[in-house]
């Protein structure tokens, strides 16, 4: 094992980062055997970074690497715009912190971030990885859904504080239903508190989008751009992520520098010097290039808890594709889940150790426990942090003993630079892997289809209400109602919508329960 380790442990000291692929079980000469595939991936990445249309389905360039190295952007104008936006974010954050830009009730103390998917997961991850509640310049809250009850919980925490709460509405398209709904609900709360929402609002969105127009019309305090060449899930280092981070008081320059340093290393066209290539190659070998095994993310650090959720989107939304670039049906992807160690050892790690062997683990080891000294917690003088490391190493051994593969990533500490570097590491690994399997990692037709599907369901609901309202008191089963509306193929949807409407205090649609429940009748009161 030690000799395997020496051969497969790659440490990048300037990045304070190491990757250990010794427990992947690469066959002998695997790197050499895959050299043509790797060379193609390096070439694909070079052309992507040079400004090729690397997202052909949307006819777009893919430029998240330029965000931390604007000088690499393909035109002078783009370079200037990136640099100008970062400066504008820093200066806006300074104005908010100093009180030059303030709310109706004075200096902004709270930040409410409205957004979903790529417009929320990065900011949420970075806020919890680097923030210190109580000590941050602003307390950060998120509305990342259209769940009314979830929103109520956030609004309850902000009760009486909206006059000192800055709301950022983030949506690249500017028309995604969830953030749009959450913004409307937020506006209603400000209004109910006698406050002008626009005086407390900022938009991060594509220029000319529905949200952008609204921000202009209503006079939001500021607007920051979201460019079409940055995908939602790779937008942490665009205004999407940098603005909330800077407002929270996090060091966004260091975040960018950490990502830029990792980018430099992951441009090297030699697999053993390129941590993202090593990672992508491990994924390829372990999943047979077909997603045959799930990726379990196990950071042994509370601050990295949300990294698994963040990676779940980055990897699954990028790689989970029906077709390859040539249009063949391939149904690709790698399933990702995870939480944190050692907490997970008291949950699903039982199955990882002894159950179905359908996964590989990615351990994330953080060498530094905390900034201050720790008290001993056992008779040998071991600390809580020693236990955490012990659990990581012990679990890794146990998995290896049972023939379960793992990769280990090591960082020195969780700080802005290492978080930036981790994000950049995985972004590039996703790019390499997409090249290995020949798919477009930068579009999301499934997400777009989901957005449209909800709209057609809501049209059915509107027709149901209109019909019931026209004959108040008259009762209809779902089947009868569907027939009246020529929706015979959607009876189940009519039934489900009827049940939901009648449970809600908002509409006057009422249900008379029947047995069996699917014969329940609905009427307008």
Which residue ranges make up the site for ligand PA5 (CB under 6 A)? 116-119, 171-173, 176, 179, 231-233, 317, 444, 447
DSSP 8-state symbol, 101:
S
- Residue 202 or 499: the one with the smaller Cβ distance to ligand PA5 is 202
Distance from C-alpha of 412 to C-alpha of 422, rounded to nearest angstrom: 12
Q: How far is the CB of 205 from ligand PA5 (least distance, A)?
A: 8
Active-site option among 317, 340, 427, 443: 317
Residue number, 232 or 244, with CB nearest to ligand PA5: 232
- Which residue's structure tokens are 């698994």? 308
Closer to ligand PA5 by CB, 384 or 456: give it: 456
Nearest approach, Cβ of 369 to ligand PA5 (angstroms)? 34
CB atoms within 10 A of CB 68: 23
Residue nearer to ligand PA5 on the CB measure, 231 or 338? 231
- End-to-end CA distance of the chain, in Å? 73
Structure tokens at 301: 């650090």
**Taking the alpha carbons of 427, 431, 432, 434 in that order, is the dihedral positive or negative?**
positive
The backbone region for 403, taken as left when phi is positive above 0, alpha when psi lies in -120 to 50, beta otherwise, is: left
Asked about 80 being catalytic, the answer comes back as: no
C-beta closer to ligand PA5: residue 26 or 142: 142
- The least CB distance from residue 367 to ligand PA5, in Å, is 32
Contact 106, 163 (CB under 8 A): yes
**Quick check: 183 and 189 in contact, CB under 8 A?**
no
d(CA 7, CA 277): 16
**Contacts from 59-62 at CB under 8 Å and sequence distance 24+?**
60/228, 60/229, 60/442, 61/229, 62/229, 62/231, 62/234, 62/442
500 is catalytic: no
Which residue, 17 or 442, is less far from ligand PA5 as judged by CB?
442
- Give residue number: closest CB to ligand PA5: 232
The closest of 238, 275, 257 to 417, measured between CA atoms, is 257
Contact between 393 and 234 under an 8 Å Cβ cutoff? The reply is no
Give the residue from 490, 501, 513 showing the smallest Cα distance to 462: 501
DSSP 26: P
Query: Helix crossing, 252-265 with 239-248: angle to 10°?
Result: 140
In this complex, which beta carbon is closest to ligand PA5, that of residue 119 or of residue 345? Answer: 119
Answer for the pair 509, 524: CB distance below 8 angstroms, yes or no.
Answer: yes
101/204 with CB nearer ligand PA5: 204
Range list of H helices, 71-209: 76-98, 121-130, 148-157, 177-192
Nearer to ligand PA5, 254 or 447 (CB): 447
DSSP-assigned states of every residue in 150-174: HHHHHHHHTTT-GGGEEEEEEESSS
- Please state the closest distance from residue 225 (CB atom) to ligand PA5, in A: 13
Torsion of CA 225, 228, 229, 230, to 10 degrees: 60
- The minimum distance between CB 313 and ligand PA5, in angstroms, equals 6
Tokens of 95: 């104005």
d(CA 339, CA 309): 8
317 is catalytic: yes
Min dist. Cβ of residue 202 to ligand PA5 (A): 15
CB of 48 to ligand PA5, least distance (A): 17
Tokens of 504: 């809600």
CA distance 511 to 80: 60
How far apart CA 435 and CA 441 sit, in angstroms, is 9
Q: Which of 32, 346, 371, 401 is catalytic?
A: 346
CB of residue 301 to ligand PA5, shortest distance in Å: 25
Q: Of these residues, 451, 475, 484, 496, which one is catalytic?
A: 451
Output the smallest distance, CB 458 to ligand PA5, in A.
17
Q: Is 157 within 8 Å of 141 (Cβ atoms)?
A: yes
Nearer to ligand PA5 among residue 162 and residue 169 (C-beta): 169
Q: Residue count of the chain, please give it.
A: 525
Q: How far is the CB of 173 from ligand PA5 (least distance, A)?
A: 3
What residues act catalytically?
317, 346, 451
């Amino acid at each position: 094992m030690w000799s395997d380790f020496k051969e497969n442990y790659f440490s990048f000291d300037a990045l304070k980062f190491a990757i250990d692929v010794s427990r992947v079980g690469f066959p002998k000469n695997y790197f050499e055997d895959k050299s043509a595939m790797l060379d193609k991936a390096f070439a694909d990445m070079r052309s992507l970074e040079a400004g090729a249309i690397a997202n052909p389905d949307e006819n777009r360039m893919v430029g998240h690497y330029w965000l931390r190295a604007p000088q690499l952007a393909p035109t002078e104008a783009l370079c200037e715009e990136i640099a100008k936006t970062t400066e504008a974010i820093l200066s806006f954050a300074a104005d908010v912190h100093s009180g030059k830009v303030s709310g109706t009730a004075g200096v902004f103390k709270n930040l409410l971030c409205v957004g979903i998917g790529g417009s929320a997961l990065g900011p949420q991850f970075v806020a919890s990885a680097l923030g210190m509640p109580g000590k941050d310049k602003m307390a950060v809250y998120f509305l990342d859904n259209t769940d009314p009850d979830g929103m109520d919980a956030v609004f309850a925490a902000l009760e009486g504080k909206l006059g000192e709460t800055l709301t950022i509405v983030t949506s690249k398209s500017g028309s995604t239903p969830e953030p749009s709904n959450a913004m409307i609900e937020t506006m209603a709360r400000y209004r109910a508190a006698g406050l002008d929402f626009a005086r407390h609002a900022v938009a991060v969105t594509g220029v000319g989008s529905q949200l952008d127009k609204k921000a202009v019309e209503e006079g939001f305090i500021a607007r920051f751009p979201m460019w079409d060449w940055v995908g939602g899930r790779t937008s942490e280092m665009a205004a999407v992520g940098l603005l909330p981070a800077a407002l929270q008081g996090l060091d966004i320059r260091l975040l960018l520098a950490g990502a830029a340093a990792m980018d430099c290393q992951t441009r090297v066209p030699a697999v053993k010097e390129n941590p993202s290539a090593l990672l992508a190659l491990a994924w390829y070998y372990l999943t047979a290039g077909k997603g045959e095994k799930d990726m379990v993310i196990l950071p042994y650090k509370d601050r990295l808890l949300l990294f698994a959720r963040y990676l779940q989107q980055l990897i699954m939304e990028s790689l989970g594709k029906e077709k390859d670039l040539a249009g063949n049906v391939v149904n690709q992807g790698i399933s990702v889940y995870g939480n944190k160690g050692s907490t997970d050892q008291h949950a699903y790690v039982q199955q990882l150790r002894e159950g179905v062997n359908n996964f590989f683990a990615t351990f994330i080891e953080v060498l530094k426990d905390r900034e201050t000294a720790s008290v001993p917690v056992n008779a040998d003088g071991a600390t809580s942090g020693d236990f955490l490391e012990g659990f990581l190493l012990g679990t890794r051994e146990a998995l290896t003993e049972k023939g379960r593969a793992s990769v280990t990533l090591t960082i020195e500490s969780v700080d802005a630079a290492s978080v930036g570097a981790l994000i950049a590491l995985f972004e590039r690994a996703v790019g390499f892997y997409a090249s290995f399997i020949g798919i477009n990692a930068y579009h999301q037709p499934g997400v777009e289809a989901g957005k449209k599907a909800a709209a057609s369901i809501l049209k059915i609901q509107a027709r149901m209400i209109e019909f019931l309202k026209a004959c108040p008191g008259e009762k209809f089963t779902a089947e009868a109602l569907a027939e009246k509306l020529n929706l015979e193929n959607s009876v189940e949807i009519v039934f489900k919508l009827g049940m939901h409407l009648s449970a809600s205090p908002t509409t006057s649609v009422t249900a008379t329960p029947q047995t069996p429940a699917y014969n329940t009748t609905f009427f307008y009161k």
